[in-house]
A and B are shown apart, each in its own frame.
Chain A
Amino acid sequence: MQTFDLEAEGLRALNETLHAQAETTNQTKWEIINPKGSHAIAVGLDAPIEVNVKGSTGYYCAGMNKQATVHVHGSAGPGTAENMMSGTVIVEGDASQYAGATGHGGTLIIKGNASSRCGISMKGIDIIVHGNVGHMSAFMAQSGNIVVCGDAGDALGDSCYEARFFVRGTVKSLGADCIEKEMRPEHITLLEELLERGGCDAKASEFKRYGSARTLYNFDVDNAAAY
């Protein structure tokens, strides 16, 4: 286990050190102490390493992550795991707005609640939230999955494309062109796998599925009032 004191050594040294880890590094476990809400912690990683952040983080923790597992033992600020490509990011506490924004791949697990715009413009990432998600979550979501074990706020999935949303609790409102959809056997199978991956103690049968009605995919003036 490598320990890095962020307060003492600074952000540039941290990211430079983590970026220097090759795919074959034997320094696979890292612990970052004294994060104190700093921004851009462990961004742009591209190696199969495990980074444990002992405390809460600021903006963009684990941004553009590839391969690495970043575990935040606290709450996370805005844009956590934004544009993630692969790997896993786990937040033990709550996550602020834009969690997993534009993510292309990998898994983001939020054990508390996620704020507004969770999964905005997501492009393939899987996001599993143990608690609730805020308003406008999955706005313009393109692909990937969001699992919400609690409730979803206003305008879930507004203007979404092919992404899927599974919500166990209530949905305050659905956004433009987002509808409840049939939960077919393949969706149950997928959801069970996501719940297991996210460490969620919930049954797939308790969830409803939401996604795009695909009526706004091509511009039609008769749909103008939908926006």
Chain B
Amino acid sequence: MKDHDSHGIPHTTPRQSATFSQDANSDIRRAAATGIYDIRGGGAKRKVPSFDDLLFLGASISRYPLEGYREKCETSVTLGTRFAKNPMELDIPITIAGMSFGALSGPAKEALGRGANAAGTSTTTGDGGMTPEERGHSSKLVYQYLPSRYGMNPDDLRKADAIEIVVGQGAKPGGGGMLLGQKISDRVAEMRNLPKGIDQRSSCRHPDWTGPDDLEIKILELREITGWKVPIYVKVAGARPYFDTTLAVKAGADVVVLDGMQGGTAATQDVFIEHVGQPTLACIRPAVKALQDLGMHREVQLVISGGIRSGADVAKAMALGADAVAIGTAALIALGDNDPKWEDEYNKLGTTAGAYDDWHEGLDPAGITTQDPELMKRFDPVEGGRRLRNYLKVLTLEAQTIARACGKNHMHNLEPEDLVALTMEAAAMAQVPLAGTDWYPGKPGTSY
């Protein structure tokens, strides 16, 4: 490009619009070409205030640390202590979030069970019901009770170690789902009582109850069917965490699972994923406050999900008041999703490793989010399970490292006082002081 015009006047540097960015323009072109909104998997990709904006203070003269490798830092957690005869006992405070057979291949579900088993934690079914492989490979299995009720039956309900009533999902608060026809194999179709090859809509709300008063009765029914043996979780999206947590507890939940907007989905409109719901960081303190206001913090356990990647994230969520966390996307990456070794194939699909999110199309080069028999052969569930176990172990070790540095002999002893924030936004959301100050943005009586 010439740096001046024919009259010798210099060109200004070509300037891209911040508003009409390359990303925005490509969205416009895609919409104009297809007439259909973009559907994809995963959670919010936009940058939002997150756990990265928090730091632990560690110990010094006023706090003393525990010795790494020598002094114990407990990680066990019990979920469902409120009403269930048999609460869920976990060795680590990290669980595997609900992901459906259908969205994931059978071997991928098996690997999740194997990895969770080896790490002493639970895994969770998803839309489509419980497969024998999943039950067989998961010693602690949470059975999701979803609006679609695909595959729902009382026999599987009674086989579960806990029941999770799904009200919302962080990627799409107020939205349902769609499993496109190309992923509907004979087996998926049979489990969902629908013809092969047609799109399967997952409802956005439950068919036989509306509102918290009904939910209380629904919980009663499920407890009666299962003899009050197993805990009942209620999963809500990060929409109105204070009120949703309050209502779930009043309805009788043993555990509240709260999923922020970074939490993944198998398939939803991109506009929904990116523009509805709140960041995980913004949801935790209101939910904890709801529990505290009801006198139920630690009585009803809080499980946080949506964008958990590292032991630092685990520790930060727990310091803010969670009892445990759940991972979904991170678990898939541990299994091999979006691995650069498949880069050539990602390129053929018009994407690149790390950015692949068309999970609904069933063409996953890693053989995880697919029902294609040939692609599924690429994935070894034993190796996948081993990788997930390793990852869960690392998350736990990292979280313990931080907890010891803060002088805590149990992960649950982490507290907001251990944290500061790097940004005002994160400080306001997490309700911890801005680093280097005593200022809690938004909290009266504190100042810079």
How far apart are the CA atoms of A117 and B210 in the complex, in Å? 12
How far apart are the CA atoms of A85 and B154 in the complex, in Å? 8
Give the dominant DSSP class at B's interface. loop
Residue of A19, A117, A162, A221 touching B207 (CB-CB under 8 A) = A117
Residue of B149, B208, B218 touching A123 (CB-CB under 8 A) = B149
Q: Are A221 and B181 in contact (CB under 8 A)?
A: no
Q: Which residues of B contact A40 (CB under 8 A)?
A: 217, 220-221, 224
Q: Given the known A-B contacts A121-B149, A218-B181, A219-B178, are A15 and B208 also in contact in the complex, defined by CB atoms under 8 Å?
A: no
Q: Are A101 and B207 in contact (CB under 8 A)?
A: yes
Q: Are A44 and B154 in contact (CB under 8 A)?
A: yes
Q: Which residues of A contact B224 (CB under 8 A)?
A: 11-12, 15, 40, 43-44
Interface size band for B: 35 or more
Q: Are B217 and A102 in contact (CB under 8 A)?
A: no
Cβ-based interface call for A52 (8 A): no
Cβ-based interface call for A64 (8 A): yes
Q: Are B208 and A101 in contact (CB under 8 A)?
A: yes
Q: Which residues of B contact A19 (CB under 8 A)?
A: 227
The segment from B193-201, B277-285, B304-312 found at the interface with A is B193-201
Q: Which residues of A contact B226 (CB under 8 A)?
A: 44
How far apart are the CA atoms of A44 and B148 in the complex, in Å? 19
Q: Which residues of B contact A83 (CB under 8 A)?
A: 149, 152-154
Q: Which residues of A contact B197 (CB under 8 A)?
A: 218
Q: Are A121 and B214 in contact (CB under 8 A)?
A: no
Q: Which residues of A contact B34 (CB under 8 A)?
A: 221
Q: Which among B34, B180, B181, B198 has the highest number of chain A CB atoms within 10 Å?
A: B198
Q: Are B217 and A60 in contact (CB under 8 A)?
A: yes
Q: Which residues of B contact A217 (CB under 8 A)?
A: 181, 195, 198-199
Q: Given the known A-B contacts A12-B224, A43-B224, A101-B207, are A142 and B154 also in contact in the complex, defined by CB atoms under 8 Å?
A: no
Q: Are B217 and A58 in contact (CB under 8 A)?
A: yes
Q: Are A16 and B214 in contact (CB under 8 A)?
A: no
Q: Which residues of B contact A124 (CB under 8 A)?
A: 193
How far apart are the CA atoms of A83 and B208 in the complex, in Å? 10
Contact mask B191-232 → A, CB, 8 Å, 1/0? 011110111010100011100001001101100111110000
**Shortest Cβ distance from residue B156 to the other chain A in the assembled complex, whole angstroms:** 11
Cβ-based interface call for A207 (8 A): no
Q: Are B193 and A143 in contact (CB under 8 A)?
A: yes
Q: Given the known A-B contacts A44-B154, A142-B193, A217-B199, are A78 and B181 also in contact in the complex, defined by CB atoms under 8 Å?
A: no
Cβ-based interface call for A79 (8 A): yes
Q: Which residues of B contact A106 (CB under 8 A)?
A: none
How far apart are the CA atoms of A16 and B223 in the complex, in Å? 11
What is the interface size of chain A, counting residues whose CB is below 8 A from a CB of the partner? 41
Would you list which residues of chain A between 167 and 202 have a CB under 8 Å from chain B?
Answer: none
Q: Are B198 and A121 in contact (CB under 8 A)?
A: no
Q: Are A102 and B181 in contact (CB under 8 A)?
A: no
Q: Which residues of A contact B157 (CB under 8 A)?
A: 64
Q: Which residue of B lies closest to A39 (CB)?
A: B217
Q: Which residues of A contact B178 (CB under 8 A)?
A: 219
Q: Given the known A-B contacts A64-B157, A82-B208, A217-B198, are A121 and B203 also in contact in the complex, defined by CB atoms under 8 Å?
A: yes
Cβ-based interface call for B355 (8 A): no
Q: Are B149 and A102 in contact (CB under 8 A)?
A: yes
Q: Which residue of B lies closest to A77 (CB)?
A: B217
Q: Given the known A-B contacts A102-B207, A142-B193, A162-B195, are A59 and B181 also in contact in the complex, defined by CB atoms under 8 Å?
A: no
Q: Are A63 and B225 in contact (CB under 8 A)?
A: yes
**Shortest Cβ distance from residue A85 to the other chain B in the assembled complex, whole angstroms:** 6
Q: Which residue of A lies closest to B147 (CB)?
A: A121
Q: Are B217 and A159 in contact (CB under 8 A)?
A: no
Contact mask B134-164 → A, CB, 8 Å, 1/0? 0000000000000011001110011000000
Q: Given the known A-B contacts A85-B153, A98-B207, A143-B193, are A218 and B199 also in contact in the complex, defined by CB atoms under 8 Å?
A: yes
Q: Given the known A-B contacts A43-B224, A79-B209, A218-B198, are A66 and B180 also in contact in the complex, defined by CB atoms under 8 Å?
A: no
Cβ-based interface call for A111 (8 A): no
How far apart are the CA atoms of A139 and B220 in the complex, in Å? 25
Q: Are A159 and B220 in contact (CB under 8 A)?
A: no
Would you list which residues of chain B between 154 and 183 have a CB under 8 Å from chain A?
Answer: 154, 157-158, 178, 180-181
CB<8 Å pairs between A and B, sample of 20: A11-B224, A12-B228, A43-B221, A43-B225, A44-B224, A64-B154, A64-B157, A79-B209, A83-B154, A98-B208, A98-B209, A120-B207, A121-B148, A121-B149, A140-B201, A142-B194, A162-B194, A217-B198, A218-B181, A218-B198
Chain B interface (Cβ < 8 Å from any Cβ of A)? 34-36, 148-149, 152-154, 157-158, 178, 180-181, 192-195, 197-199, 201, 203, 207-209, 214, 217-218, 220-221, 224-228
